[in-house]
Structure 1
Amino acid sequence: MAYVKELDIFRAVSQWIKDNQDKLGPNEKTNILSAIRYQLMDEKELSEVRRSKLVRSDRNILDVIKKSLTQTLNDRGRLEPNVNFAQENLIEVSQIDGGTMIVLDHPVNINYIEMELCSCTYSYYIEVSIAKYSWFRVIDHSNYDSPKYNVASSSMDATVTNGYPHWTIKVVETLPDKIQNAILYDDYKNLLLDRGYTYHDLELGCIEVQLAQPYLLSSMRMLLWDHQKFTYGYTVHVSVNHEDWFLIIDKSNKSCQSWQLLQFEQRLVVYIRVTGVHTSCPDKTFNLKYLEAPAQVSLAFIIKKPWKSIPWLLNRK
């Protein structure tokens, strides 16, 4: 795609037509010249176009130019990866309808927006426009604050980005999504069939989940695979950008089994990283059967006092 001054394009096209005029059909000249965006030319440039030998010799070309000046601008651009179009010297910032509007100095095609929020928590959406009349919502984070439903599920477009599915998962499942994202399905409820677990080798990697968008979380729940009463020590880190990680749970010196109900200070989360530190499993693997966030059980069930046996409870006076 071309990204130069339209006058330069007109000059190049005129020269090409001159060099190939004997090969062109009756309408090909006007078809080619109609692709030029004369609307982007100033009066001085348009004057050069009108005075050119090509235009003066063909009335039809002049008509094409006049018609082009009244038509909608055709989209054309160049590919510029990793370029920040919102640099301070290229933008205008103002307030509109209770929000902030950033005006770039020229139209651009973009597919990625990155911004940094301060330490407060927000709900927001991002809309874009060419002429400030029609707006299109491209990002909608207006409903991510403090979710009550499980956002760490495959149905909510969460994915497992690190970790290995145990071979038993591949035996009972055929869908790639259910194999890769096994810990994001509540199949643990089927006690008649062991659907395996997702694992990572100790000191090699982790189990990592990416949520579909940022969510404010303050709890999680995990089910460790303890088929033979295995115990585990682990840590849980979270991140928004996959670069800055924060430790929210440290059970590296504990011997944990089965369900883990985790509570922590509320924070914005996109990535969840669970790392095994030690295990009694002979394979030296950290094995996770299920993960949900936030926890879908009442946090009041967290036992803070020493456990009392059922007989003790029944016989107390």
Structure 2
Amino acid sequence: LLLWDCDNRSYSYYIETSYDNVTWSKVVDKRNIACRSWQILTFSPRIVVFIRICGTNNTANEVFHCVHFECPCKPDILKLYMNEQQLNLANNFKEENSITCEEFYKNYEILIDTINKNSIIETHTILPFKIKSNSTEIVHIEQEDNE
């Protein structure tokens, strides 16, 4: 996350993630910290479809300036996490606000159906991989290079 850094202002914010745009989990809380410039943030592996950045303070004015944001995923780490989730489910353990692969896939299909009906974006442009239901396997989706 790159915050506006052309002067001496600082920002405060928090970040939430969701798999369904209804259930949100706070993954970063910088509400009581004066933050400037590049922010390198990490959070525990989870299935994320939506990210919400909420600016809570700017020392110069009332606008939160997010200049650049990216949230790369490492599929190998996600796969390890999903395998761990399956093990946890076998032990009847479910973390608060967590979701199983099957639940995610069910919600993801609804999201994709909605998007495709509106002809906004195709499935393969949202994620570079597909999570198969009833398994923890991540399958890479081949994409054509248009360059």
TM-score by length of 2: 0.48
Structure with the bigger RCO (C-alpha within 8 Å, sep 6+) is 2
TM-score by length of 1: 0.23
The structure whose residues are more often strand, as a share, is 1
